[in-house]
Structure formats: structure tokens, C-alpha cells
Structure 1
Amino acid sequence: QGGLAGQLLAIFILEFGVVFHSVFIGLTLGTIASDELTVLLIVLVFHQMFEGLGLGSRLAVAPWPSNRQWMPYLLGCIFALSTPIGIAAGIGAKPNNANDQKLTNGIFDAISAGILMYTGLVELLAHEFMFNPYMRKAPIRILLLAFACVAFGVAVMAILAKWA
């Protein structure tokens, strides 16, 4: 039971981090200048899609108690609504001054990047590499392949960030 409680706690921490991050992504999108909107929207659609896949895969394999089988659906809906709520708040709070707008976007970007780094490193990668019994016993070539896949994902996200 302690293992189950720990797993579910990790899922709720991941959910909180991803939802909080998505709200700030929405705030950024809501306060961005209209000439930068198209590129950022395309990048964020892919970003949110992969973030949703990561969260969804974690929700799908969790051993939910029989009286909480509805919980992954609720958590998925909360994630799906977090970015639109952030966009609406960003549109409502959009500064009129261009310098204030850039400062606001920079602050929101920094907060969301910090949340995403924590969530990705502590809640996802640590659980997949350090706490996964298969990875702890895996041969070095599997570990190197897993590391290469993570590095490839980081490179792709860096390229997307260059465009955004």
C-alpha cells in the first residue's frame, strides 16, 4: 500500500506541475503580440500534445483504487482546460505597452520553464531511470539508448524553442 500511495502522490505532483505550467503557457500565449502568434501557437500545440502524452501515459498505467477509477479522466480534463484558462486570463491581463508586454512574457516564460524542468527531471526522468526496476537491471546499451532518446528530445525541443 505504501508503494501505491507513493505512485499516486507522484502522479498528483506531476499533474500539478504540468497544469501549473500549462496555465503559464496559456498566459504567455494570451499576452503575446499578434505578429508572433502563429509560430508560437504551432510550437505550443506540439509541446502540449507531447506533454499530454507523457501525462496520459502516466495516468493510464497507474493502479487506481476501484473507488477512484474516474480520477484519470478528471485529471485529463483539468490538463485539457488549463491552457485555455491561461489564454483567457492572459488576454484579460494583456498590457498595452510593448515593453510591459515583453517583460510580462519573459516572467511567464521563466516561471513555466522552471516548472517544466522540475517536472521533467524529478517526476518523469527520475522515475523512469532511477526508480524503474527494469532500467536498474538493464544492460548498458539500453541505458545509452534511453539517454540518446532523451538527448534527441531535448535537441528537438531546443530547435522548436529557437523558432518560438
Structure 2
Amino acid sequence: MAIRSNPLRRTAGLVLAVALGFASVAPALAVRPDEILPDAAMEKRAREISAELRCMVCQNQSIDDSDAPLARDLRILVRDRLKSGDTDEQVKDFLVDRYGQFVLLKPRFEWETAILWIGPFAVLALGAVGVFAAARRRRAAPAGEAVALSAEEKAKLDRILADEA
């Protein structure tokens, strides 16, 4: 028995493979050869810092992945600061002073950013408390069980039934 290959499936697989290949290469093309430092260790530091900095144009990419002109300027600025002897933290501090915490893809834990770090856990905790409270209420009064009437409620019900008859 011969197995036939579906041409549509083969074509779709090929297109997907090519698309993934281009997607994996695209970030590497953002840093241009004229930006790369001759010192491999310093270039590695520059890449690590650039991967932590947000492109102010793209906003969801690091400057290392972005090919926007501002991202290029920031990559060059990072490399210039490293060449002048700044530490990694000094470079980041310089950029935070200039652009604010928003330039960091992972903002530091400070008073201005506390809600970013604590907020998700607080929402999760409130949700858990809500689920727990709802579960307790369900267990406390299960549906379908008869609840005895008080003497006052029974008398009121008897009056209503007598009026309807």
C-alpha cells in the first residue's frame, strides 16, 4: 500500500518552516556590524544590557531586537558608555535618569513601580479569597434543603393563604 503525500500539507509545512527561520534570524539583524565592539567581552556586556532595555518606539521589544533608529542610537550610547568605563549599573542608571523606569523591560522594585510588582499577586489573592468565600457560602446553605419557618413567618404565611382562599 502506497502512502500519498498531501501537497497542501507539505506546502503549509514548508511555509511554516521558512517563516520560523526568518523569525529566528530577524532579531540578530537588528545590531549592525558597525555597532559591534572589537572587544568580545565588552560586546557581550553591551548585548546583555541592550536585551534589558525597552525600545521607546516599539515598546514591546528590547533595543537589541529593534531596528528603529532610536534603538540604534541607544545601542550606540550603551557601547559608548561601556567604552568610557561605566559599569553595567551605571549605564542603566544613566538611561533611567534620562528616560525613566519605562526604559527598563523589567523595572526595578521602587515606590513608583511597587504596584507593577505587587498588583498581580494582590489580584490573585483577592480572587482566591472570593472563591473561598463563595465556596463557604455554598456549603453553609446547600440548595434544596428545607428551612424551618419561624412562628412569625408561619403566621404571616397562614394569613396570606387565608386571604387567597
TM-score calculated relative to the size of structure 2: 0.28
> Which protein has greater RCO, CA pairs closer than 8 Å, 6+ apart?
1
**Richer in helix (by share):** 1
The structure having more radius of gyration, on CA atoms, is: 2
